[in-house]
A and B are shown apart, each in its own frame.
Chain A
């Protein structure tokens, strides 16, 4: 058994406990430990991705209990890819926060490490109830991060955010309960085997459970009409917290792919692709609504949040096809939109700081310091988010357009994706013109100097989106293999339950 598989969960857990117990009041030491631990986590994730590249999923049995009875963590190319992405984002966010954001409240680095524990665990686990637990770990940490820095608006938005996630957690438990009541198991591989064999009388209950779970994942992924929490939360929180939350919407997309591509996938008998009829219409509505939000936003952070909603719509259009071309295009786009979205939010943080009392509202104000540099970075962020060449959003959208050709309604989807891209461009152009072109002479009073670390983090993220275009060939080959593996039920089941006869695999080794 490969013990490295549990490292992405153990490392942040121990780092967080260490920070909390020994370095509570020493911020500089906290920063160093946090940066080093996050970098180590990235290295571990890269190592795991190398191990996963042979295309055979590996299972890690916690406590060495045999598979359907104990909890398993499963490493495959999909989870490894997302672990690496989480590591990259976390490193950029820690660098950004180390320039002073972490001083505005307590325990920023501790909370960030706990959040990484939850996110990494959610990507690795092979058990539906364990997925719930890691979701909760991730959410508890995100409540703390979301409120980091305090303020009345943030508290009010935080109350909404916590309440919505508590309701989603309740739905999650009801769904899990229904699935357990019908199948008697919560192990994903075991479920994948048992779902096709459920008696017709129980299929209705199981379908209800599966669709309740879909509601929960759709809430996390901000699918319309369950997206309303996202713009309010992301626009009210601090820049580094919003940037790391970028990966949390992707956890929702990942869970949809894992549960509805594998457990309730094409081979699930009467319940095959049970969520697929809902994903595409919801994704289309999400893309439309996100675009309208971008065009109508009155502040840069709210514009960024709606741009994220739109990008979730785009990627779920491809993911909702649940075929290899769609999933691989969606995975390429997930990496791109996480990097670009994080860069945009970090940049919005700089703008918010630099414009003083004007904040990030889209009204002409006095010029901020380093306007040319920040404006240039905004241009690059906008190019990435909208999907213009040369950054990776362009190739991501091209791949998604290619992938939807297999759908019967592809002309409509093409018109929608291209039309919304144009509208998004207009929204970003308007914001950039107001913020950076229409600005008056520099106002009086002391202005903040641009710190080097935040700029480094933003430039790093944008450079990575550029590199993601440059590496599009190998990346696409990797993502095609990942998509094939993610939809391959037999290999996953064999990795978790052992190479027994698949019909009786439920009893383990």
Chain B
């Protein structure tokens, strides 16, 4: 079981990292989600892997460590909220600039497209070109 869990975590982390390094916001978001899944599974396994044991201490009986489960719950809630936020952010960025590229140099972009209305049109064209 250790090998299965460990390789699953490794695979998810590798997938996540590969996707995060892509140049579009959608793969980056999916990659972040993969990474947070991997982290959650990792954190869960840190209390040692046990099968069919309650997270409650009873005298004389074996139990599984409850603390990592509490930590994972907190981590899940936080990463869920963050993922929702970054989805909205990516969407707003796409709607406002017409492009979902993540590698825009901001200072340069601001200097190259000074007038905002024109920038918006240019952005739409860029977005169209990117989609085509």
Contact = CB atoms under 8 A, between A and B. Distances in A.
Question: Which of B71, B93, B102, B106 neighbours the largest number of chain A CB atoms within 10 Å of its CB?
Answer: B106
Given A140-B85, A156-B106, A232-B106, A167 B20 contact: yes
Contact of A129 (B71, B82, B90, B119): B71
B1 interface: no
A173 B89 contact: no
Contacts, number: 109
Given A129-B71, A178-B46, A298 B89 contact: no
A156 B109 CA distance: 10
B106 A177 contact: no
A299 B109 CA distance: 13
Nearest to B102: A159
Interface in A211-268: 232, 235-236
B82 A140 contact: yes
B82 A169 contact: yes
A167 B32 contact: yes
Given A153-B110, A159-B90, A361-B111, A176 B35 contact: no
A133 B77 CA distance: 11
B93 A156 contact: yes
A177 B109 contact: no
A163 B111 contact: no
B10 interface: no
Nearest to A357: B114
A323 interface: no
A151 B109 CA distance: 12
A162 B85 contact: yes
A136 interface: yes
B85 A159 contact: no
B81 A140 contact: yes
Contacts of B46: 177-178, 180-181
A147 B85 CA distance: 12
Interface in B1-49: 20, 25, 28, 32, 35-36, 38-39, 42-43, 46-48
Contacts of A39: none
A176 B68 CA distance: 10
Contacts of A235: 106-107
Contacts of B39: 170, 173-174, 177
B43 A152 contact: no
Contacts of B123: 152
A341 interface: no
A156 B104 contact: yes
Given A152-B119, A162-B85, A173 B75 contact: yes
A176 B119 CA distance: 44
A212 to B, nearest CB: 11
B81 A177 contact: no
Nearest to A233: B106
Interface in A150-166: 150-153, 155-160, 162-163, 166
Identify whether the interface residues of A are mostly helix, strand, loop, or mixed.
helix
Interface in A354-379: 357, 361
B56 interface: no
Nearest to A302: B107
A309 to B, nearest CB: 15
Interface string B98-132: 00001010110111001010011001000000000
A5 B67 CA distance: 26
A259 to B, nearest CB: 18
Contacts of B28: 163
Interface in B33-83: 35-36, 38-39, 42-43, 46-48, 67-68, 71, 74-75, 78-79, 81-82
Contacts of A151: 96
Given A176-B71, A177-B68, A152 B86 contact: no
Given A153-B110, A235-B107, A302-B107, A162 B93 contact: no
B75 A152 contact: no
A181 B46 CA distance: 5
A170 B93 contact: no
B64 to A, nearest CB: 14
Contacts of B86: 159, 162-163, 166
A166 B82 contact: yes
A143 interface: yes
A180 B68 contact: yes
A298 B46 CA distance: 48
A299 B107 contact: yes
B41 to A, nearest CB: 10
A155 B85 contact: no
Contacts of A302: 107
Contacts of A299: 107
Contacts of B90: 159
Quick one: which of A133, A159, A232, A298 has the most chain B CB within 10 A?
Answer: A159
B78 A155 contact: no
A298 B96 CA distance: 25
A163 B38 CA distance: 16
Closest 9 CB pairs of A and B: A177-B46, A181-B46, A155-B93, A177-B43, A152-B96, A152-B97, A170-B39, A173-B39, A153-B106
Interface of A: 129, 133, 136, 140, 143, 147, 150-153, 155-160, 162-163, 166-167, 169-170, 173-174, 176-178, 180-181, 232, 235-236, 298-299, 302, 357, 361
Given A162-B82, A163-B32, 9 more contacts: A129-B74, A152-B123, A155-B93, A156-B106, A159-B25, A166-B36, A173-B39, A176-B71, A177-B71
28 contacts: A136-B82, A143-B89, A147-B89, A151-B96, A152-B120, A153-B106, A153-B109, A155-B97, A156-B102, A156-B106, A156-B109, A159-B25, A159-B90, A159-B102, A163-B20, A163-B32, A166-B36, A167-B35, A170-B35, A170-B39, A174-B43, A176-B71, A177-B68, A177-B71, A180-B46, A181-B46, A298-B107, A357-B114
